[in-house]
Structure 1
Amino acid sequence: MQALHAHARIKRSAVVTLLCLGAGLAILLYQQRYALSWLGVDHAAIRDWWQGEGLYAYRSPDHRVGTALSPVAALLLAPAARLPLPVTGWLLALAGLAALVLGLVALAGPVARRYGKPRGRTVLVAAALALLTEPVRSTLGLGALDLLLFALVTADVVALRRSAWARSRAAWWPGPPASQPVRSSASALRRGWADRSPVAVLRRGWATGTWAGVGIGIATALAVSPAIFLLYLMVSRQWRAALIALGTTATLLTGAALIAPGTTAAWFGSVLPQIDRSGPPDAPANQSLAGVLDRLYDTAGTPVLIWLSFAVLLLAVGLIRARSAHADGDEIAAFTLVGLTAAAIGPVSRIHELIWILPAVLILVDAAARQRFPARRPLRPRRVPGAGYAVAAALIYLLLVLDPIWTAGWNGYAFVLILLLNVLPWRPGVASAIPVRRGPAPARRTPAIPGPRGS
């Protein structure tokens, strides 16, 4: 028996070692291909900032582009700017890879558990497949922060789910809170509620999800696009998380204004309105609606009125469908729809910012599996159940794996964004942020924009 356990440990160690070597080789290849060009501009701008120059006064000698980092992100990367660029790139890539794995633990882990598959193996396979896609390749190769933003927003999905669990347990238990079974970590923490030590407070906060909103708040302070998740929290009436996110963002920006008032004022005053600071909006890498219209009309600037009209429509569709997914108990699909909306309506959404297509592929795969192995027998069985979702997931993943030279020219990512925004299914009761009620649920109004649901 001990020999079998030792052999299993050696096998697991060998697999982990091979995966680490493969991830390191992938990072090396991606950084050689993209040359850390995004991070190089930020790195040089922060170094000039250290020497007394303006953070946003730097322009790259090759392409004449400047950094668009927020003051909070610049302060976060300031210590790493003392290191050589390759070292900073490796540190940021390792942090991004860890963020990707943690995000997939929260997103792919429940799917594996539902079908009785090993969660660790499923997450590793999903991470390996994600590592081959262009959004992850370009993020690691350019030295962008998008994987860290993705993990911060995903952390709030976990927090909202834990909050719903805690409230459901409190509502279901018929007796006093102190008599709840010890097997529930939240009930055990509730017994020791009088303990005010920092460790106990952190444990209670982690178990009950009271920190929901902190991840979105930090991500919004680091970049602008995650602010749409704050709007979603308000639309879905998750007021506590929305207030925490707003307070976190305000606190971080206020701290940045106290440390670097001139830089913060310049960022709000001149950098935010300058959408071409990191490159021309009509470049093929810009796969947002504005970029498509810019290339379609072949004008010096984006047709603002047409873009605003369609952007407002897409924003309404995305938020309404996200609210419906939230009401049906699929918070992962709700956040994915919001992330797709942010990428579609933004003035500039480059390929490395399209990271939310990955959980959309995961949702399609899960929806196909739910139709292939339904909880109850359907009235009209299909010949190939779930084939549509499976084919869609395979085609979108193939698009993400291909070189952008073959896909960005015909706006493939932009079309996929808009298509997923309108037809992405959600799975009722998968990752609810609403306490589960006993008995029949109250009648709910039909959404203004209905959408497909995974059966």
Structure 2
Amino acid sequence: MSSSAVEAPAAVPPPSAPERRAIPAPAFWVVLALGALAGGWYLKELLADVGSMMHLLDLGVYKIAGQRVLDGVSVYDTPLLGQTRGVWEFVYTPFSALLFAPLAKLDGDVFRYVGGIGDFVVLAVGVWAALALLNYRRDVKLAVFSLPVAALLLWCEPIRETMAFGQVNILLMTLVLVDMALPDSFRGKGILTGIAAGIKLTPAFFIAYFLFTKRYRAAAVSAGSLVATAVIGFLVLPHDSRTYWAGAFFDPTRVGVPENPSNESLRGMFARSIGLDGGWKILWFLVAAVLAMACLYLARRLSFGRQELLAVTLCGLATTLVSPYSWVHHWVWWGALVIWLLDASLRRWAVGTWIALLVTFFVVSGGVLSLLGSSESSVLTFPSWERLGVVYHNAYIWLTVVAFAVVALRLKKLTASRS
């Protein structure tokens, strides 16, 4: 038999990546002007009421945790402030407590600058990564463009609250977005996601996303990074690590009662509406599991269709949706969805996208209603009216489910058009 008869078939080359796009000049200047206006007005509000707009309560609690680390005192045995269980308890990993240790050395204006300016810089980096995932050219112009976009996102309620509290949510989102923007061929892809999960466990959902999109090396690297953060915690804080991993991480009562009106998660909605006794708790768990799996399925299809930002954003929303406890400021992934919708609205005849953008912005905006004369800053705080309160008091949850449904319908329509 000749050698030619057993030659392997020629490998089919993978589809070439689309050429990176330039930011359209009109969009650049319009966003620059709007961002300057939005950022300037936000700064005006901040200077007029620093105590409300930049109180940095949570960053102050992180500082206490960091001081406890330096003093050799447990961060889990007692609340960081006061003596009431479920109030101001430390709910993050021992590794995160180590990262907070440098905060113990900051005071006064330096502390406020780290909280305010630092969070905005991290937000701008996250915006840059989101735009990079939309395949824009990664040049100086994109870095400059990220600043006014970040300024616009200051009017997104979860981002606005994260800035006010000095929370870690923007940092976690940015770590994941930057990681996703790295090429799949990069051997270190997954490290940043693992570190994010090592600070707060919910980003571990993205390890499943790596697996579903067949990026097995990135999934392994991410899981390995998460394990490494746990090992570091055991080496430096053995007592706290035993407490945390023995069950404290799975105890939502350390955050508060699930029916708290500020618990904008699926579990919170169940607790407030029908309770979590008996079979209702099982139903909540099953619904959460179904929505998580549905999200991963949709994200897989989107990723394979080169819609990476939308895929990652849906996963980010899912982590907050199915988490046992989600404050409003945990929903920072709405900012990433707004970026995707803004980009999609640049296409011709994108009427449906514009409607989706307006609805999303109305639901997730913060402070805009007060500019229009309303006493409420967000739809989440509207007074209850008949039975409609279950809709707008849980608006983030319903909007997430609608987003999943719309994406599913679009993918189904796309599949039908190709068949």
Superposition TM-score tier, normalisation by shorter sequence: 0.7 to 0.9
Report the Cα distance in structure 1 between the residues aligned to 2:36 and 2:395, rounded to whole angstroms: 36
2:118 is matched with which residue? 95
Label 1:404 to 1:245 Cα distance change in 2 as closer, same or farther (>3 A): farther
The question of 1:292 aligning with 2:256 is answered no
Q: For residues 276-306 of structure 1, give each alpha carbon's deviation from its aligned partner in whole angstroms, at most 9, with x where no partner exists.
A: 2123221222111111111101467993201
The question of 1:401 aligning with 2:336 is answered no
SS in 2 for 1:55: coil
Q: 304, 320, 332: which one pairs with 1:327?
A: 304
Label 1:362 to 1:119 Cα distance change in 2 as closer, same or farther (>3 A): same
Report the Cα distance in structure 2 between the residues aligned to 1:243 and 1:31, rounded to whole angstroms: 44
Report the Cα distance in structure 1 between the residues aligned to 2:160 and 2:181, rounded to whole angstroms: 26
1:258 is matched with which residue? 235
Report the Cα distance in structure 1 between the residues aligned to 2:357 and 2:279, rounded to whole angstroms: 32
Label 1:286 to 1:250 Cα distance change in 2 as closer, same or farther (>3 A): same
Label 1:363 to 1:347 Cα distance change in 2 as closer, same or farther (>3 A): same
What does 1:147-158 align with in structure 2 at a 5 Å threshold? 147-158=170-181
Report the Cα distance in structure 2 between the residues aligned to 1:302 and 1:290, rounded to whole angstroms: 13
Q: 77, 83, 92: which one pairs with 1:57?
A: 77
The question of 1:247 aligning with 2:224 is answered yes
Q: For residues 89-108 of structure 1, give each alpha carbon's deviation from its aligned partner in whole angstroms, at most 9, with x where no partner exists.
A: 53133222111101111223
| C-alpha deviation, 1:425, in angstroms | 7.7
| C-alpha deviation, 1:349, in angstroms | 1.4
Letter in 1 for 2:401: I
Report the Cα distance in structure 1 between the residues aligned to 2:101 and 2:121, rounded to whole angstroms: 21
Q: 163, 170, 190: which one pairs with 1:213?
A: 190
Q: For residues 185-244 of structure 1, give each alpha carbon's deviation from its aligned partner in whole angstroms, at most 9, with x where no partner exists.
A: xxxxxxxxxxxxxxxxxxxxxxx5332101101101010100000111111110111111
Q: For residues 321-378 of structure 1, give each alpha carbon's deviation from its aligned partner in whole angstroms, at most 9, with x where no partner exists.
A: 00001111121111111111111111111111111112212222333323x1xxxxxx
Letter in 2 for 1:81: A
Report the Cα distance in structure 2 between the residues aligned to 1:124 and 1:330, rounded to whole angstroms: 23
The answer to whether the 8 A contact 1:325-1:426 is kept is: no
Label 1:422 to 1:30 Cα distance change in 2 as closer, same or farther (>3 A): farther
Letter in 1 for 2:259: D
What does 1:141-290 align with in structure 2 at a 5 Å threshold? 141-159=164-182, 162-163=183-184, 209-290=186-267
| C-alpha deviation, 1:421, in angstroms | 2.6
The answer to whether the 8 A contact 1:287-1:414 is kept is: yes
Label 1:121 to 1:260 Cα distance change in 2 as closer, same or farther (>3 A): closer
Q: Tell me, which stretches of 5 or more residues in structure 2 are unaligned?
A: 1-33, 367-375, 382-388
The answer to whether the 8 A contact 2:198-2:230 is kept is: yes
| C-alpha deviation, 1:419, in angstroms | 1.6
- What is the root-mean-square deviation of aligned Cα atoms in Å? 3.2
Label 1:269 to 1:404 Cα distance change in 2 as closer, same or farther (>3 A): farther
Q: Which moved more, 1:62-71 or 1:210-219?
A: 62-71
| C-alpha deviation, 1:47, in angstroms | 2.8
The question of 1:420 aligning with 2:395 is answered no
Letter in 2 for 1:41: V
Letter in 1 for 2:395: G
The answer to whether the 8 A contact 1:275-1:347 is kept is: yes
Label 1:26 to 1:227 Cα distance change in 2 as closer, same or farther (>3 A): farther
SS in 1 for 2:254: coil
Label 1:47 to 1:416 Cα distance change in 2 as closer, same or farther (>3 A): same
Label 1:355 to 1:31 Cα distance change in 2 as closer, same or farther (>3 A): farther
2:337 is matched with which residue? 360
| C-alpha deviation, 1:124, in angstroms | 2.7
SS in 2 for 1:364: helix
Letter in 2 for 1:249: L
The answer to whether the 8 A contact 2:161-2:329 is kept is: yes
SS in 2 for 1:308: helix
Report the Cα distance in structure 1 between the residues aligned to 2:206 and 2:395, rounded to whole angstroms: 25
Identity %: 26
The answer to whether the 8 A contact 2:59-2:115 is kept is: no
| C-alpha deviation, 1:129, in angstroms | 1.0
1:43 is matched with which residue? 63
Label 1:36 to 1:343 Cα distance change in 2 as closer, same or farther (>3 A): same
1:84 is matched with which residue? 107
| C-alpha deviation, 1:259, in angstroms | 0.8
1:390 is matched with which residue? 354
The answer to whether the 8 A contact 1:340-1:417 is kept is: yes
The answer to whether the 8 A contact 2:91-2:254 is kept is: yes
| C-alpha deviation, 1:16, in angstroms | 11
The answer to whether the 8 A contact 2:69-2:101 is kept is: no
Label 1:137 to 1:228 Cα distance change in 2 as closer, same or farther (>3 A): same
Report the Cα distance in structure 2 between the residues aligned to 1:18 and 1:295, rounded to whole angstroms: 39
Report the Cα distance in structure 1 between the residues aligned to 2:271 and 2:412, rounded to whole angstroms: 31
Label 1:406 to 1:23 Cα distance change in 2 as closer, same or farther (>3 A): closer
Report the Cα distance in structure 1 between the residues aligned to 2:109 and 2:364, rounded to whole angstroms: 26
Report the Cα distance in structure 1 between the residues aligned to 2:267 and 2:177, rounded to whole angstroms: 27
Label 1:113 to 1:250 Cα distance change in 2 as closer, same or farther (>3 A): closer
What does 1:430-449 align with in structure 2 at a 5 Å threshold? none
Report the Cα distance in structure 2 between the residues aligned to 1:243 and 1:45, rounded to whole angstroms: 30
Report the Cα distance in structure 2 between the residues aligned to 1:86 and 1:303, rounded to whole angstroms: 48
The answer to whether the 8 A contact 2:190-2:222 is kept is: yes
The answer to whether the 8 A contact 2:298-2:408 is kept is: no
